[in-house]
Amino acid sequence: MDKLKIAIQKSGRLYEDSIKLLKDCSIEINIGIDKLKTTALNFPLEILFLRDDDIPQYLEDGVADIGIVGKNVLLEKRKRIKIKETLGFGKCRLSIAVPKSLSYNNIKDLDGKRIATSYPFLVREFFKKRYINAEIHEISGAVEIAPGIGLADCICDLVSSGSTLFMNGLKEVETVLQSEAVLASHLHLDSTQNIIMEKFLFRIRAVKKAKDNKYILLNVSNEKLEKIISYLPGIKSPVILPLANTECSSVHSVVNENDFWGIIENLKALGAQDILVLPIEKIIL
Ligand code: PRT
Ligand code: ZN
C-alpha cells in the first residue's frame, strides 16, 4: 500500500512536539533504537528522522513528501517547497542583539557593524530592505559568544525566553522573523500522496482547533440566563440544560483559549456560578 513519507527532527527542540502531534492525531508509531525510520501502525505514514537543516532539501528532492521544520530554517534554505500548515509549537523569533553597553536608538545604529549569524540569507534580506550596510559573518553555532570574543559587534540568532542573550550581556533590538514549526511538502505529490496528506492535515487541524478552545460548563439562575447566552456564542449556540433545582440552568459552551481569563471574569460578573473548564481533544466542524 502507498505511504506518505514524513521527515521529522531526529533529536532537538522539535522532536518531542512532532512525536506528540502524531500521537494527538491518533497515529501510532514504535521508535526503534537506531531511530532512522519507522512505519506508523495505523496510518499510511513512514517517518524519517533527520537533522532539521537537511529537511528542506529532502523535501525539495522528494526523498521525503512532507516534513516538520522551523519556519526559520525553511525560509533560510530557500528550497522549492510548500508550507501547508503552521503547527503552533517551536515558537521563537530570529532577533538582532547588541551588547548591553551599546546605546541603541534605531536600526541605523547597525550601519557598518559586523554581525554574526547562522541565518545569513534572512539577515541580508532584512538589512537590504532597510538600506543598512552591515558585514555579515556566518557562523554555525554558539553565535551568542561572538561579540564577547571580538568576532563581531552584534549577533542575529533565535530567541525564545531571552535568557541566553541575558547571560551573554546582550540585548534584543530588532526582530527579523517570528517563527514556529510548520508542516511543509514537496511540490509535486501524486494523487494518492495528496489524499494521505489531506487526511493527515484534517487531523492536525482538528487537534489544533481543540487546543485553541476549552469546553466550559456553568450554572446560572434563570433570570440571568439570557445575558449569559448572548455572551457565550459556542460553536453554533450554547447548550442549556435544566437543573433539578428549577430556578437554575446549566450552560455548556466552547470558549477560545486566547481570551480565556477575560471571558471567565465577565461570566462571573454576569452571574455565572460553579464554572467548570475542560480540555477538548478534537474539534471536527
Ligand atoms: O541537530 P539538529 O540540526 O536537528 O538541531 P539544531 O541544534 O540545529 O536545532 P534545535 O533543536 O536547537 O532547534 C530546532 C528548531 O527549534 C529551530 O530551528 C527553531 O525553529 C526552534 N526553536 C525554538 C529554537 C529555539 N526555540 C531556541 N531557543 N531553536 C533554537 N533556540 C536556541 C537559540 O539558538 C539560542 O541558542 O536557544 C537559545 C536561545 O534560547 P533562550 O530561551 O535562552 O532565548
Ligand atoms: Zn540544525
| Angstrom distance (rounded) from CA 250 to CA 267 | 13
The C-alpha cell at 50 is 533527520
Q: Is 162 in the pocket of ligand 1 (CB under 6 A)?
A: yes
Task: Please write the tens of the pLDDT for every residue from 181-203.
Answer: 999 999 999 999 999 999 999 99
pLDDT (tens digit, 0 to 9) for every residue of the chain, 285 residues total?
689 999 999 999 999 999 999 999 999 999 877 789 999 999 999 999 999 999 999 999 999 999 999 999 999 999 999 999 999 999 999 999 999 999 999 999 999 999 999 999 999 999 999 999 999 999 999 999 999 999 999 999 999 999 999 999 999 999 999 999 999 999 999 999 999 999 999 999 999 999 999 999 999 999 999 999 989 877 788 999 999 999 999 999 999 988 889 999 999 999 999 999 999 999 998
DSSP 109: G
Nearest Cα residue to 96 out of 159, 145, 141, 53 = 159
Look at residues 260, 248, 246, 259 and name the one whose alpha carbon lies nearest to residue 218: 248
123 Cα–ligand 1 center, Å = 17
- Ligand 2 centroid, distance to 58 Cα (angstroms): 14
Distance 52 CA to ligand 2 centre (A): 5
Give pTM, 2 decimals.
0.92
Query: Which ligand approaches the C-alpha of residue 18 most closely?
Result: 1
Q: Is the CB of 52 under 6 A from ligand 1?
A: yes
User: Relative to the alpha carbon of 13, which ligand is closest?
Assistant: 1
Q: Among candidates 54, 20, 18, 49, which has minimal Cα distance to 35?
A: 49
